[in-house]
Amino acid sequence: MDPSTSVFNGMRFAGIDLVVSVPCVNLKDILPMIDNDPNIIHVPVTREEEGVGICAGAYMGGKVPAMLMQNSGLGNSINALASLNKLFHIPLVLIMSHRGIEGETICAQVPMGQLTPSLLDSLDIPYVVPTIDNVEDAIIHAWNIAADKGRPVAVLLEIGFWEAE
């Protein structure tokens, strides 16, 4: 199975039914899959922090929310993840394309890429780094932990993830 289909299946099996997205070149094949699924509401957003707010509102209305994003957007979301999700114990799955690590060709991606794991640690956001073989289970697990603990959980999809077949 190709990486994009595996991520999409993981989202479906996790019961995710509202997705906000800020695109990344690595996520581009997943977005049409979401658009074509009548059971998932897709909300493209202008900035990741906005997406955190939409997902929080959706969760309060009974949805299982996820945000598809690049790791650069973590920096745009930190206050909301702390003063909204952490404060009110609101779960969220952050499905994050992790740029700026091994295999990166764009130098501007490197600073945030290197900071991403430690920023997640600082925010007390657990994360998993799946391979294509376990990404479906990883996303299901991420939502279960998020819902159980009332907090965001991240799924970091590294550059090498997208090269697997």
Query: Contact region for another protein (CB under 8 A) — 83-91, 121-129, 131-139, 154-162?
Result: 83-91
| Residue 104 · residue 113 · CB < 8 Å | yes
Taking CB under 8 A as the criterion, the residue among 11, 19, 21, 65 binding another protein is: 65
Site residues for another protein, 84-103, by CB under 8 A, read: 84, 87-90
Q: How far is the CB of 147 from another protein (least distance, A)?
A: 13
Q: How far is the CB of 162 from another protein (least distance, A)?
A: 27
Q: Which amino acid is at 111?
A: P
For residue 86, give the DSSP letter: I
- Please, which residues bridge with residue 68 across strands? 21, 95
- The answer to the question of residue 147 lying near another protein (CB under 8 A) is no
DSSP string over 16-83: --EEEE---GGGTTHHHHHHT-TTSEEEE-SSHHHHHHHHHHHHHTT--EEEEEETHHHHTTHHHIII
Site residues for another protein, 23-52, by CB under 8 A, read: 41, 43-47, 49-52
Strands of 65-70's sheet, edge to edge? 41-44, 18-21, 65-70, 92-98, 152-158, 127-128
Query: Contact region for another protein (CB under 8 A) — 60-68, 93-101, 113-121, 130-138?
Result: 60-68
Q: How far is the CB of 137 from another protein (least distance, A)?
A: 26
Q: How far is the CB of 24 from another protein (least distance, A)?
A: 18
- Please, which residues bridge with residue 156 across strands? 96
For residue 94, give the DSSP letter: E
Q: How far is the CB of 54 from another protein (least distance, A)?
A: 4
Taking CB under 8 A as the criterion, the residue among 57, 75, 126, 160 binding another protein is: 57
| Residue 113 · residue 100 · CB < 8 Å | yes
Using CB under 8 A, list all residues that contact another protein.
18, 41, 43-47, 49-63, 65, 79-80, 82-84, 87-90
